[in-house]
Chains A and B, each alone.
Chain A
Amino acid sequence: MKIIISNASSEPIYEQIGRQIKAQIISGDLKEGDGLPSIRKLAKELHISVITTKRTYEELEKEGFIDTVGGKGTFVAIQNKELLREKKMKSIEDMMTDMVTEAQKLGITYKELQEMLGILYSTDED
């Protein structure tokens, strides 16, 4: 597991950690059933508060990425493939929303945007 946090970023630290753990679960670097460090170990290693790491784990658990088994520790949740795909779709949707917002700011039309996307999509396919 790799986690890098920035104190200069405006993104709260608990989100920075959560985002990185999620990315590693989605990419498969962290696999189903893999053990995660305890909140205390993580806090010590990252030089941050136990409260922050606890919050990260609570959020990840709520979203279904990890499971905490009392007395045993925290593990990457057994993922439903459908759910995982849905999550990835959701993150693509989020990025597209950002893209659309930015495009609208610049006055780029739907058609222009579609063309841009078309070019990117086909070059990627080659």
Chain B
Amino acid sequence: MNNTLEISNLSKDYGDFHLDNITFSLPTGYIMGLIGPNGAGKTTILKIIMNLIMKQSGEVKIFGLDHREFEVEVKKRIGFVYDTPNYYQHLNLKQLKNTIAPFYEKWDESAFNSLVDRFELPLNKKLKKFSKGMAMKSSIAIALSHHADFIIMDEPTSGLDPVVRRELLDFLRELMQDENKSILFSSHVTTDIEQAADYITYVDGGKIVFSKTKDEVFEQYALVKGGNDLIDDETKKNFVGVRTGEFGFEGLTSDMAAAKKVFGENAIYDRASLEDIMFFNSSKSKTIR
């Protein structure tokens, strides 16, 4: 299996925040969701991939090529969608397209027009009058009209209503009918990632907590619930994080099989949502441990 993206031992120090030894890879033909709380380092990672921020150490390879040495070559094949569509607000979509298209050898006018049709975007309306959904769809239409093989999106669903969101996620899945394409998108909205991603990379505090297939994540993690009599210093070790209340406890385990051996039929085992996994992994829940 080829990897579209390979990041190894990537570090960057900002003083008060640092990316610490980031390593993960995205196989060609799959969607990866990059998830983590606000300020976890998601955008920094994406910007380093795009070489908009300099890395300090480590390696980033895209299509097997170094992302700086082969920057132009690599970027021709990337479609990048920024979180805040920050286009020339006084232009309309047609003018914007005319500004950007010449930069790409493989610009495909008919692909652009069909996306504009599909997303029902007005070509002659000023961008500053666009709704958030329209602005995001415009960014996507622009980013996907040069036959990019690797699509990188920073928070593409933020601020979108559920209808547009669903439309966007469906669209991503449709793109993946072509097994040569890969998508990396960041989000702090866990349901988006649950719905669309094949791989989940979870970042917190500048570190990778895990990078696995979605199925592995959901098979491995589980919520264990039971009476407080089951919880002591020893059994707490089975949890990533535990929350105890007056009537019982709720804990996240990253090894369901081991937890079942400890608690047996005295506890209830529920499927953990990505939100549960994020909450219990966060430093806030760890302090109660």
Contact = CB atoms under 8 A, between A and B. Distances in A.
Interface of A: 10, 12-14, 40-41, 43-44, 47, 49-52, 55
A55 B215 contact: yes
B30 A51 contact: yes
B176 interface: yes
26 contacts: A10-B271, A12-B215, A12-B219, A13-B215, A40-B176, A41-B177, A43-B173, A44-B173, A44-B174, A44-B176, A44-B177, A47-B173, A49-B213, A49-B214, A49-B215, A50-B29, A50-B30, A50-B176, A51-B30, A51-B198, A51-B213, A51-B214, A51-B215, A52-B214, A52-B215, A55-B215
Nearest to A10: B271
Contacts of B271: 10
B195 A47 contact: yes
Contacts of A55: 215
Contacts of A49: 197-198, 213-215
B179 interface: yes
A45 B145 CA distance: 24
Nearest to A47: B195
Q: How many residues of B sit at the interface, in one of the four size bands?
A: 10 to 19
Interface string B183-215: 000000000000101110000000000000111
Contacts, number: 35
Instruction: Select the residue from B29, B30, B198 with max chain A CB neighbours within 10 A.
Output: B198
A41 B30 CA distance: 13
Nearest to A52: B215
Contacts of B199: 51
B135 to A, nearest CB: 26
A30 to B, nearest CB: 22
Contacts of A50: 29-30, 176, 198
A40 B214 CA distance: 16
Given A10-B271, A47-B195, A40 B215 contact: no
Given A13-B215, A50-B29, A51-B215, 18 more contacts: A12-B215, A12-B219, A14-B215, A40-B177, A40-B179, A41-B177, A43-B173, A43-B176, A44-B173, A44-B176, A47-B195, A49-B197, A49-B213, A49-B215, A50-B198, A51-B198, A51-B199, A55-B215
A14 B215 CA distance: 9
A52 B196 CA distance: 12
A12 B173 CA distance: 21
A50 B175 CA distance: 12
Contacts of B219: 12
Interface in B90-147: none
